[in-house]
Amino acid sequence: MSNQTIFWQWLVDALEHTGSVMLMIVVSSQGSSPGTAGAKMAVTERGQCFGTIGGGAVEHSLAKQAQSLLSNDAFHHQLIREQHHLSTTGHASGMVCGGEQTVLLYVCQYSELEIYRHTLNKLPGVLKLSPAGIQFIQDCTLPFALRFNMLSEDDWVYEERVGIGKRAYLIGGGHVSLALSKILATLDFDITVIDERDNLETFNRNADAHHKLIIPYQDIPDAIPEGDQVFIFIMTHSHKTDEIVTELLANKNVRYLGVLGSQKKIAQLKANLSNKVSFESLQHIRGPIGLPINSHTPEEIAISIAAELVQLLNEFSG
């Protein structure tokens, strides 16, 4: 179960029991603020909390404020802008990180329960919040994961794509695949591991993969969809099979297509494929994958790959 699914399940359960829950969402974030855009936290009137909007003193203060506001029947929503510097005037948080974030406090009502169930059930669509309330627009999409537009305190809209999560396809079920699956699970990826070998020990004990397939690598194009939420990691047991799989997937329209290996290996692989795939497709192949942190063990390599993904996913978040 993904982190987002667990969050919405908690909120639905709390709403069923209490009738109202404060939903806090970081709708925008710039600089070194503690919470990234899209981060969520839910608070009940009794002070029960789930999720995070960045932790620390700011989160604690806003959670207390949310708990207090739930007792006010007239309260509906509020946008709170926090500037993170040491000044004690205005909206300064007293923190030294120097960033800025805007947090939406929105009271979820029992009458809206069906909307949150749609989100929990991963129906594809857009969750939209505005001064008019909350909506779930089914079968709608956004060019980005989320967006926030504010003209004034009374004229703003926050939209978030739901139901279409990040999907990771790990081609090869070896030690790096095993380590990477564990980290990607914490980053809310739906994980599929694919290998063509039977009875592979690391493949069999991978408890973090949501799906595990044993198929010939020649059949792999049919097993992997296209889309801007698809991330492919090629890490088979040999250079030869890496090259075969890369050629088969090179033309896929996906967010990320990377190959594990040294610079020399990747250079040779691309040279071998230069007459087999288009120049544009060759340019989209990433490698060596992972940030250059002098990693050696499977766990270290997995961390370097995950760090590259975080960098990629956050490159437009400010």
Question: Which pLDDT tens digit goes with each residue over 286-299?
Answer: 999 999 999 999 99
- CA R_g for the chain: 22
Is the model's pLDDT at 5 over the cut of 60? yes
Buried b (16+ CB within 10 A) or exposed e, 90-113: eeebebeeebbbbbbbbbbeeebe
Q: Are strands 77-83 and 100-109 parallel, antiparallel or unpaired?
A: antiparallel
Average of per-residue pLDDT across 47-68: 92
Average of per-residue pLDDT across 208-227: 95
Is the model's pLDDT at 318 over the cut of 50? no
Is the model's pLDDT at 192 over the cut of 80? yes
Residues near 287 by Cβ (< 8 Å), separated by ≥ 6? 258, 259, 260, 261, 265, 266, 269, 270
- Cα–Cα distance, 128 to 100 (Å, whole number): 23
The token duo for 292 is 């250059």
- Percent pLDDT > 70 in the chain is 92
Cα 140 versus chain centre, distance: 19
Average of per-residue pLDDT across 63-92: 80
21: left (phi over 0), alpha (psi -120 to 50) or beta: beta
Structure confidence at residue 84 as a pLDDT band (50, 70, 90): low
Question: Which pLDDT tens digit goes with each residue over 86-117?
Answer: 554 555 445 445 578 899 999 999 999 999 99
Is the model's pLDDT at 34 over the cut of 80? no
Return the H-helix or E-strand segment holding 273: helix 263-273
Q: Which amino acid is at 145?
A: A
Structure confidence at residue 161 as a pLDDT band (50, 70, 90): confident
Average of per-residue pLDDT across 233-245: 97
**Helix 3-18 vs helix 113-120: angle between axes, to the nearest 10 degrees?**
160
Question: Which pLDDT tens digit goes with each residue over 260-270?
Answer: 999 999 999 99
- Cα–Cα distance, 302 to 289 (Å, whole number): 10
Structure confidence at residue 313 as a pLDDT band (50, 70, 90): confident
Find out whether 248 and 220 touch, Cβ atoms under 8 Å.
Answer: yes
DSSP line for 141-173: --SSSEEEEEEETTEEEEEEEES---EEEEE--
Average pLDDT, the chain: 90
Find out whether 199 and 156 touch, Cβ atoms under 8 Å.
Answer: no
Report the pLDDT value the prediction gives residue 33, as an integer from 0 to 100.
58
Among 3.40.50.300, 3.40.50.720, 3.90.550.10, 1.10.357.10, what is the CATH number of 167-313? 3.40.50.720
Rounded to whole angstroms, what are the CA distances from 117 to 4, 13, 43, 112, 127? 12, 10, 18, 9, 12
Residue ranges per domain, the chain? 3-162, 167-313
Is the model's pLDDT at 187 over the cut of 70? yes
Residues near 164 by Cβ (< 8 Å), separated by ≥ 6? 124, 141, 227, 229
- Cα–Cα distance, 126 to 144 (Å, whole number): 11
Is the model's pLDDT at 317 over the cut of 50? no
Of residues 179, 205, 177, the one with CA closest to residue 192: 177
